[in-house]
Amino acid sequence: MKEQKMKHEIKRRIDQYLEQTEKQMLDGIKRSVQIQSVKGEPSKEAPFGEGPRLALLDALKQADELGFKTENLDSRIGFAEYGAGEEMVAVLGHLDVVPAIGEWTHDPFCAEIYDGMLYGRGVLDDKGPVIGALYALAAVRHSGVDLKRRIRVIMGTDEESGSSCVAYYKERKQELPVAGFTPDACFPVIFCEKGCLVFEIGCELSKETLGRLQKFRGGTAPNVVMEEFEIHMLTEGGSCSMYKKGRSAHAAAPSLGINAGVAAAKELAQVRLAPEIDDMMRFIADYIGDETQGKGLGIDHTDEETGCVSVNLGILGIREGRAYLTLDIRYPNNADPEWIKKEVERKASSRNLEIQSIRHSPLMYLSKESALIKTLMNVYEQEMGAGAKPVAIGGGTYAKSFSNMAAFGPLFPGQKDCIHQPDEQAEVELLKKAVRMMAYAMAELAQAEEVNEWM
């Protein structure tokens, strides 16, 4: 009974602090969203471009203003820390964002609040949760809870392009957390993230084709459904021009979008432009098409617990005399990534295309009965009620960066998922609730007796 009263008092103090600093926190989130932290031209001072560097500097400054110890690891990744103890638990988030493409009704980098909704690129993925995590950490400090280990909020700047920032953190021999979570997905808690294979597939273009192909471009990133595609090519009888408009969506759920590259390929596969371009268009039309579960490629696989394969055509373009495309393929538990690689290579070869590179992010799976999942589920159920279950997702989060981490928030069940889409938005009241949940989870993880068996 005494322990329950103490937990209630800790929560009351956390809630009190977050209520008192609500405006300050929202202003801090706005400040971060207003920085256009899309990956850009690298330099010695800004390895991922000036935007991500400025976003990290701003977040560390906000942490400094809250009174935390901070560290900047060469403008790639940084952290804020509180507490004492030999062990450390972490909250891992990112400050880089995908491009703000598409038709927005609110300026993506203005961070307006309209009718209770905060609009802007990054308000959900992942600047809102990251800045919120700093205030959650301050609330834990304010609560006076007795912690057995330190809490670190780690902030990366290259998650959307491969998470090389976390690789750098590890290369620098930085301390690894004994447990933690990333607020980069949804509640109640993610027990499985599908594996992800990103293929770059292409072919060399002849001098004649290069001379006639004046425009051939579409897409912004492998993990975004291609929203626009454009081609302009001179032909013997004149020219071929085409522009296709689709609808963007995250590659974790490509069926929610309309792929402009696929739409174009289905038409272009019926005409003859140049052998290399014809092969690429037939590859897309024959083996990818409108369905998104890999049936055309012969890699469709479904796991009852963790879902099915998904395939997204992300980019079409020309680089260094080669035409290329990217495929983002997510696979569930019990699917063999080596089998997927072989099948994709076989299909590409049948259309005279070569695999130029493969980037692999392995599947992340934690037992639903593990102590880490149960602890985070308990935090969620105490606030939202029983009945929810841990979920599997197609999206990859920072949780894959560490072996003892799960994704926890910020989206609640039923909340509109507009991550990577135009008019990215967060309901202010739900964002505040997510920050409270993060604070409760930080306190639980940092005061637990043992974490050695949490996997």
Cβ burial, residue 357 (10 Å; 0-12/13-18/19+): exposed
Q: Indicate left, alpha or beta for 35 from its phi (over 0: left) and psi (-120 to 50: alpha).
A: beta
What's the mean pLDDT in 438-446? 96
Helix (H) or strand (E) holding 136: helix 127-143
Going by pLDDT thresholds of 50, 70 and 90, the confidence category of residue 420 is confident
> 239: pLDDT confidence band, cut at 50, 70 and 90?
very high
Fold of 2-192+365-447: Aminopeptidase (3.40.630)
Instruction: Write the pLDDT tens digit of every residue in 350-403.
Output: 999 999 999 998 999 998 889 899 999 999 999 999 999 999 988 778 898 898
**What percentage of the chain exceeds 90 in pLDDT?**
88
Provide the 10 A C-beta neighbour count for residue 8.
Answer: 10
Separation CA 453–CA 444 (nearest Å): 15
Query: β-strand 179-182 against 405-407: which pairing, if any?
Result: parallel
Q: Which of 96, 158, 184, 227 is catalytic?
A: 96
pLDDT at 237: 79
- Per DSSP, which regions of 335-435 are E strands? 354-361, 364-365, 391-393, 405-407, 410-411, 425-427
pLDDT in tens, 140-167: 999 999 999 999 999 999 999 889 999 9
Active-site option among 58, 126, 158, 159 = 159
pLDDT at 396: 77
- C-alpha 330/C-alpha 114 separation (Å) is 35
> Do the Cβ atoms of 40 and 51 come closer than 8 Å?
yes
Structure confidence by residue, pLDDT tens digits, 339-365: 999 999 999 999 999 999 999 989 999
Report the pLDDT value the prediction gives residue 162, as an integer from 0 to 100.
84
What stretch of H or E contains 118? strand 117-119
- Catalytic, 159? Answer yes
Let me know if 247 is exposed, middle or buried by CB neighbors in 10 A (0-12, 13-18, 19+): middle
Average pLDDT estimate for 107-133: 97
| Contacts for 370 with CB less than 8 Å, ≥ 6 apart | 454, 455
Is 49 within 8 Å of 75 (Cβ atoms)? no
- Residue 455 clears pLDDT 80, i.e. is over it: no
pLDDT for the residue numbered 318: 97
96 is catalytic: yes
Each domain of the chain, given as residue ranges in start order, spans 2-192+365-447, 195-361
* pLDDT band, very low/low/confident/very high, at 5 (cuts 50, 70, 90): confident
Q: What is the pLDDT of residue 1?
A: 56
Specify the pLDDT at position 272.
Answer: 92
Q: pLDDT > 70: what percent of the chain?
A: 98
pLDDT of 454 above 80: no
Using CA atoms, how far apart are residues 74 and 80, in angstroms rounded to an integer? 15
Q: What is the mean pLDDT of residues 255-270?
A: 96
Confidence of residue 452 (pLDDT cuts 50, 70, 90): low
pLDDT on residue 371: 87
How many CB atoms within 10 Å of residue 1? 5
Mean pLDDT for the stretch of residues 90-109: 96
Contacts of 415 (CB under 8 A, 6+ apart): 186, 427, 430
List pLDDT tens digits, range 42-82: 999 999 999 999 999 999 999 999 999 999 999 999 999 99
Alpha-carbon gap, residue 313 to 266, rounded angstroms: 13
Q: How confident is the model at residue 451, as a pLDDT?
A: 62
Res 52: pLDDT = 98
